[in-house]
Amino acid sequence: MATWRLTTPLTEADVRQLRAGDLVFLDGRVVGVRDATLIRIFDHGVEPPIDLSGAAVLHTAPNVRREGDRYIPLSVGTTTSARMDRFTRGLLERYGVRAIIGKGGLYLPESLGGLKRFGGCYLAIVGGAAAWQTLHTEAIEAVYWEDLMPEALWVFRVRELGPLFVAIDSHGRSLYAEVGAEARARLGQILGGG
Amino acid sequence: MIVAGPKFYEAVAEAAAEAYVRALIDVPPDVRAALASACRQETHPIGRRVLELVALNIRAADEHKILVCQDTGTPVYWAFIGSGLAVDGVRLEAAIRQGVEMATRQHSLRSSICHPITRENPQTNTGYRVPVVHFEFVAGTDYLDLVMLPKGSGSENQSFLKMLSPADGVAGVKRFILESVVEAGPKGCPPYIVGVGLGGSADLCMVLAKRALLRPIGSRNADPAVAALEAELLAGINRLGIGPQGLGGAVTALAVHIEHAYTHISQNPVAVNIQCWRGLRAAARVYPDGRWELISGWQPGG
């Protein structure tokens, strides 16, 4: 259970050294995306407005206050990744994303296979801990697709964002798969009167 | 019977707004105590680390007066109207809606509500039939208790209903609840407060599962048979090993709350409505003359 301090953009080597169960603290830029953003990219075929190679993307839609032409982050948290599962492979394969930051995990074989094949990782943040996350978000550097508000494409500058748990690594190990399989086995024992 | 005066409805709007914001920034005392206890019990290294961060997060929200979680939720209110209070229900519902819009504007809350087909977001946290408002009536009081539950979507998406058969019995009920928690797994931000509705019709059963989330942790159903089932299910759920955030650990749920109703002779309905660890809720009491106050530690019938 190693602890890593990484800075974006991430390289394949950065990601390949991580093992499930490790902790990561992240500096640099994090790109906020979620349902509407990813539907626009993948279902409507609109190219993302920024280069995502080496990016860490975060499943989010923050609370913000507009001051002039800037947005001040009031609460930047994390939403459930499972809804965005089917967009994961495209982010990795087509756009070179290296880290998905979310909560609740990814499950599709093509997502897990994509992380392994293209060198990506899933970093679990503590869901619901938005106050903590906000204090580690220094600024909103850019916002694209404001018509989707609050589901715009956000560029956050973060400092020591973490602890992030390496929940799915680039070597095929998923803590969610392991915990889920164990829970189903124990469920059988409990229902069987064991 | 006291007729609510003109200031009553203004007070309802203010109380509805304040309860919404309070619920988003201030974790209730019973939930804090349960999380602290969970942190002491948790032996899994990741689970432990998650719960330590949860504690840091609650402190950060307290110190900076910021939201615990980014999800402003679906605004759900329970209006408990005293039998000694005469209110205009249409104005009451309008005042609650106005409160949601005020809170959203004044605190720059993210609007989380949209049209189900066009996905158009009015940016007010309100829309057709939202906020969700449930009404109940209380004998012997002459005030309104307004309980606010800003229901986060991560946990609300983990909602389950099954119309079991009478022959499935209590065993079938237990199985369905445990399977629902396994299905929710990490997705609704465990450790959970598991709201369960038992009996009634399909619609009532689901409402009861949500209603169960209004109860403070540590409370028990008044019916001993139902209370025993709550305890048994909590023990079972905490043997699943899902743990905080579903990354493994001993503490998967903080509580199981069951609310029940009589049902049809040919039915055995059970509903599960998951609540995330933040257990958000806040309550306000509004008096007919327009005075109002937030109530800490509110409980149904209390």
Q: Could you report the per-residue pLDDT of B54-99, keeping only the tens digit for each?
A: 999 999 999 999 999 999 999 999 999 999 999 999 999 999 999 9
Interface residue A42 vs chain B (CB under 8 A): no
Cβ contact (<8 Å) for A128 and B50? no
Q: Which residues of B touch A183 (CB under 8 A)?
A: 182, 185, 240-242
Q: Which of B64, B68, B245 sits opposite A103 (nearest CB)?
A: B245
Interface residue A185 vs chain B (CB under 8 A): no
Cβ contact (<8 Å) for B70 and A163? no
Q: Which of A21, A128, A132 sits opposite B189 (nearest CB)?
A: A128
Cβ contact (<8 Å) for B243 and A179? yes
ipTM comes to 0.95
Q: What is the dihedral of CA B43, B49, B50, B56, to 10 degrees?
A: 130
Helices A175-191, B169-184: axis angle to 10 degrees equals 170
Cβ contact (<8 Å) for A103 and B72? no
The type of residue at B192 is Y
d(CA B105, CA B99): 10
- The stretches in chain A having pLDDT less than 50 are none
pLDDT at B89: 97
The model's pLDDT over B253-302, given as tens digits with 9 standing for 90+, comes to 999 999 999 999 999 999 999 999 999 999 999 999 999 999 998 988 75
Cβ contact (<8 Å) for A63 and B109? yes
Cβ contact (<8 Å) for B152 and A186? no
Average pLDDT, chain B: 97
Min Cα separation B35/chain A (Å)? 13
Range 49-68 of A in CB contact (< 8 A) with B: 60-65
**What percent of chain B clears pLDDT 70, i.e. is strictly above it?**
100
pLDDT at B302: 53
The model's pLDDT over B102-139, given as tens digits with 9 standing for 90+, comes to 999 999 999 999 999 999 999 999 999 999 999 999 99
Q: Which of A76, A127, A135 sits opposite B60 (nearest CB)?
A: A135
Interface residue A128 vs chain B (CB under 8 A): yes
**What percent of chain B clears pLDDT 90, i.e. is strictly above it?**
98
Minimal CA–CA distance to B24: which of B80, B60, B73?
Answer: B73
Q: Which residues of B touch A38 (CB under 8 A)?
A: none
Residue pairs between chains A and B whose CB atoms are closer than 8 Å = 164
Q: Which residues of B touch A185 (CB under 8 A)?
A: none
Q: Which residues of A touch B276 (CB under 8 A)?
A: 127-128
Interface residue A130 vs chain B (CB under 8 A): yes
Spatial contact of A110 and A89, defined as CB atoms under 8 Å apart? yes
The model's pLDDT over B202-255, given as tens digits with 9 standing for 90+, comes to 999 999 999 999 999 999 999 999 999 999 999 999 999 999 999 999 999 999
Q: What is the dihedral of CA A30, A34, A37, A40, to 10 degrees?
A: 140
pLDDT at B291: 98
Residue to test with chain A: of B48, B52, B59, B70, most A Cβ within 10 A: B70
Spatial contact of B241 and B248, defined as CB atoms under 8 Å apart? yes
- pTM of the prediction? 0.96
Average pLDDT of span B171-175? 98
**Cα-Cα-Cα-Cα dihedral sign, residues A152, A153, A156, A161:** positive
Q: Which residues of B touch A104 (CB under 8 A)?
A: 154, 185-189, 246
Interface residue A181 vs chain B (CB under 8 A): no
Pairing of strands A137-144, A153-168: antiparallel
pLDDT at A105: 98
